[in-house]
Amino acid sequence: MKNNDIEIRWYSEFVHSKYKLGIVFPDSLNNAISNLAVHTLYRILSAEFYTDIFSKDKLTGLRTGLKIQDFDFLFFSIDYEPNYLDAIQILLKSGIEPLREKRNRPILIGGGAAISSNPFPLLPFFDLLCIGEAEAILPQIISDLESFSPENFKERPWAVTDEKRTARRVFLSDLNYSNSFIAFYSPTATFKMNLVEVSRSCPNKCRFCLLSYNHLPPRWLPIRRYEEMIKEFPEGTDIGLVGGSVLDHPEIEGILDLSKKFKTINPSSIKINTNSVQMLEKLRKSGLNSVTIAPETGSETLRKVINKDIKNEEILEFIKILNEIKFKNLKLYLMIGLPFETIYDIIETNDFLRKTRELFKGSIEVTFSIFVPKPHTPFQYFPLLSKKEFNEKMNKIKIPPGIKAHFGNYRGATKQLLFSRAGEELGNAIYENITNKKPLETLIDIESILYDEETAKRMPFNLIDSGVNIDFLKGEINKSKSGKTTPRCVPSKCNLCGICNQGPNNSRKV
């Protein structure tokens, strides 16, 4: 089947049902096709319902060609906060009444990593917002679809509605029930790979990282479930292993052996570990050319602040090994504006980049992203660095010749933080801004939301209980000030942050 020149091979049967369900990813079609949350939703919903997929640039269904406004329920999946604005624009563009109070249909349901962290800017528009993982929540929504009413969800811990503004994040306790693997394959999209999520969260708990903190505890996909998942993927295609710290998977050797039918095996992230030489050699033999690592900074002091306890010496040794195994491309992720960062940390990063260039002969790309203090992480109340500080720090960065560098955009970081922190007043202000052309800054106090710690402590995202206890988060800030690190997660033994062993109320055993 051809759609906008993108060929799609569906892996599932097409079901006809009384209701039409749309999955909406408010970003480009190419990004929708490579987003595992879209595939997970599709696998679960399309097993019982007539389901189609929409994106920001494709408002007719990918599978049926029907218009988005002809669907009864729209399930929005949002991982990146600035896409809240795209979601509102999709509604306006397709003639769907955006304001919940004025709309009868379609019913709008939202979920995803960004919504689970701060659903409130979308409250004026959505009927139901979901805090947690799709596999744990969707069966409860599906069973109530016939007689859908936000009222029906007031006892559900994970639900946010106009009437219920506190919620607890729910998650799958056993990844044997995971549906996070692709539901269709596109040999002609920019990103053409079979994806399987092999881990959730990350045991290292970097103090800035929402993907780690808002998905705790770390969990691994059992190898038998991996074997079942990859059965439907065609031989000779590429496989992408998605998750944090993929090579730390306790059954990674077996997973790589089972993946021999694929052309290239691509792990989404590789932890810097000089003991993983054998695995790196296997990946290189499979045809993998590029490795992406995230030292975050070239300063060892600052790395301790963020709970990444690894020395420059070890990272450079790892880079030397990558060069010896003859990887062709190295990608590095670094950050600017982390709490307690000084100009000296940036000078150390410059030195680290110079040494990296000397050790690695292939191409090197470095991306500097701007630190955005995300809710539910230990650094949640820190202010964003000011534009002045940002400019001063940018002026100190020296990229050695032969390294290609990309830099985060300051305006983009402010937008991300605004949507991560603000409440429903932001949704209302955006609606005013779009419909009555009133400038956003006259409608809400953007400066306080971005730069004032006390304002951040009062914002409604604090009504969402991520499961990590607040004393643990406070303790992490104190440790970061004195450069102390916290050990990796061992879910069977530890109850450090309070999320493991909380009993049936905080997790869902499917």
The residues binding ligand SF4 (CB under 6 A) are 216-217, 489-491, 494-497, 499-500
- Nearest distance, CB of residue 491 and ligand SF4, angstroms: 4
C-alpha–C-alpha distance, residues 183 and 9, integer Å: 9
- Nearest distance, CB of residue 461 and ligand SF4, angstroms: 20
Task: Return the closest-CA partner of residue 376 out of 235, 498, 208, 488.
Answer: 208
* Number of Cβ within a 10 Å radius of residue 181: 24
The backbone torsions φ and ψ at residue 195, rounded to the nearest 5 degrees and listed phi first, read -110, 140
- Nearest distance, CB of residue 495 and ligand SF4, angstroms: 5
The backbone torsions φ and ψ at residue 396, rounded to the nearest 5 degrees and listed phi first, read -90, -15
Between 72 and 465, whose beta carbon lies closer to ligand SF4? 465
* Number of Cβ within a 10 Å radius of residue 256: 19
Between 217 and 339, whose beta carbon lies closer to ligand SF4? 217
Three-point CA angle 323, 304, 81, nearest 5°: 85
Between 434 and 496, whose beta carbon lies closer to ligand SF4? 496
Between 108 and 206, whose beta carbon lies closer to ligand SF4? 206
- Nearest distance, CB of residue 468 and ligand SF4, angstroms: 7
- Nearest distance, CB of residue 380 and ligand SF4, angstroms: 16
- Nearest distance, CB of residue 502 and ligand SF4, angstroms: 9
Asked whether 345 and 337 are in contact (CB, 8 A), the reply is no
- Nearest distance, CB of residue 173 and ligand SF4, angstroms: 11
Between 288 and 489, whose beta carbon lies closer to ligand SF4? 489
Between 362 and 491, whose beta carbon lies closer to ligand SF4? 491
- Nearest distance, CB of residue 245 and ligand SF4, angstroms: 13
C-alpha–C-alpha distance, residues 373 and 224, integer Å: 38
Give the three-state DSSP class for 289: coil
C-alpha–C-alpha distance, residues 162 and 149, integer Å: 12
6-7 and 2-3 as β-strands: parallel, antiparallel, unpaired?
Answer: antiparallel
- Nearest distance, CB of residue 492 and ligand SF4, angstroms: 8
- Nearest distance, CB of residue 294 and ligand SF4, angstroms: 19
Place of tokens 């600035």: 82
Residues 6+ apart with CB under 8 A from 144: 152, 153
Radius of gyration of the chain (CA): 23
Between 128 and 500, whose beta carbon lies closer to ligand SF4? 500
Task: Return the closest-CA partner of residue 290 out of 240, 336, 253.
Answer: 240
C-alpha–C-alpha distance, residues 181 and 200, integer Å: 13
Query: How many H-runs (helices) and E-runs (strands) does the chain carry?
Result: 18, 21
C-alpha–C-alpha distance, residues 359 and 322, integer Å: 9
User: Which residue, judged by CB position, is nearest to ligand SF4 in the bound state?
Assistant: 489
Tokens for 509, please give them.
Answer: 């055993």
Task: From residue 457, give the alpha-carbon distance in Å to each of 171, 365, 392, 462, 472.
Answer: 25, 37, 28, 7, 16
Between 92 and 490, whose beta carbon lies closer to ligand SF4? 490
